[in-house]
Structure 1
């Protein structure tokens, strides 16, 4: 597999994880009107210019191979994104990377987030194994119980509690999942 898969598309059940596209700008703006998504974001999208910048950042991340953001589409609901799943992959040899996700409010509680996260995780461990990737981390604030449930459903165990650190006002959880294989 290509180690810098710019146009990767993942499929699992009725979900398709695909690159974000310029036509997704309105969906992105609507999603970031949700206080829960804004609260968990390091880069909130406030207006159309910020949404366009966010979409450009996704493409630049793919081009560099350091960030792989996917629009999550549930084909059973239509053809527009209902969520986001992202792999932030550090330099080869570091052994660890970070994953994140969000789901629009109307689609929460349907199993979309854990299913998308599991697909992203399997893809990451397959595509980046040659770079030495053996651990994925999922971070969230301690008050985000839904993220704990998603992490557990996707096979991420609680690894540690992290002290509050700007921009996060509360302590956080670090969940991790390790690659399967000999010695892991």
Structure 2
């Protein structure tokens, strides 16, 4: 389990692998039309939630994709506020990709960049050869640009549309802090 420490404006966030008992919270998060707009694989039924959770466990066990449920602790339990995923990890690979979504009630509070930063730091610490993480999003999603920048991911380029993405996209990147070969002008 990872912890994103409390800040002046945010409580502590807990980040952990998905569990079977997260199904109802996952389905509730996907009832949001904004989240549905940006996802390719919505989770709207119990069967879809079971498939999602089983795949998340398999991916974690395989060591190439790590999905974190992001939770905000409360006195009577925890509320699901986001997901952050580290994907395309390969043994000795120098680059991988991150992605995320934020549940509607948590948007605009800094949850996504805070959780994304925690997973980014974990990834660079856990995978010795990892030098760069990319964050990709569609060009018409300015909120994702703001999250990327707040989490230290610098804009790199516009990517042309290609299936399954119907629109051009942005690539943002963040480099391992110890990487002295970080390209000139790239953010850390």
TM-score, with structure 2 as normaliser: 0.88
> Structure 2 vs 1, CA of residues 141 and 182 (structure 1 numbering), >3 Å: closer, same or farther?
closer
Q: Where in structure 2 are there 5+ consecutive unaligned residues? A: 6-11, 182-188
Q: Which residue of the other structure, out of 132, 156, 160, is the alignment partner of 1:159?
A: 156
Q: Which residue pairs with 1:81 in the alignment?
A: 80
Higher RCO (CA < 8 A, seq sep 6+): 1
> Structure 2 vs 1, CA of residues 69 and 119 (structure 1 numbering), >3 Å: closer, same or farther?
same
What is the CA distance between 1:35 and its match in structure 2? 2.2
What is the CA distance between 1:182 and its match in structure 2? 4.7
> Structure 2 vs 1, CA of residues 163 and 93 (structure 1 numbering), >3 Å: closer, same or farther?
same
Q: Which residue pairs with 1:55 in the alignment?
A: 53
Q: Which residue pairs with 1:3 in the alignment?
A: none
Report how many aligned residue pairs link the two structures. 174
Q: Which residue of the other structure, out of 3, 11, 25, is the alignment partner of 2:3?
A: 11
Q: Which residue pairs with 1:27 in the alignment?
A: 25
Does the residue aligned with 2:148 lie in a helix, a strand or coil? helix
Q: Where in structure 1 are there 5+ consecutive unaligned residues? A: 1-8
Q: Which residue pairs with 1:36 in the alignment?
A: 34
Q: Which residue pairs with 2:186 in the alignment?
A: none
What is the CA distance between 1:32 and its match in structure 2? 1.3
Q: Which residue pairs with 2:131 in the alignment?
A: 134
TM-score, with structure 1 as normaliser: 0.90
* Larger mean Cα displacement after TM superposition, 172-181 or 78-87: 78-87
What is the CA distance between 1:61 and its match in structure 2? 0.7
Cα-to-partner distance string for 1:2-48 (whole Å, 9 max, x where unaligned)? xxxxxxx1001210101111111011111112222222223222321
Q: Cα RMSD between the aligned structures? A: 1.4
Q: Which residue pairs with 2:185 in the alignment?
A: none
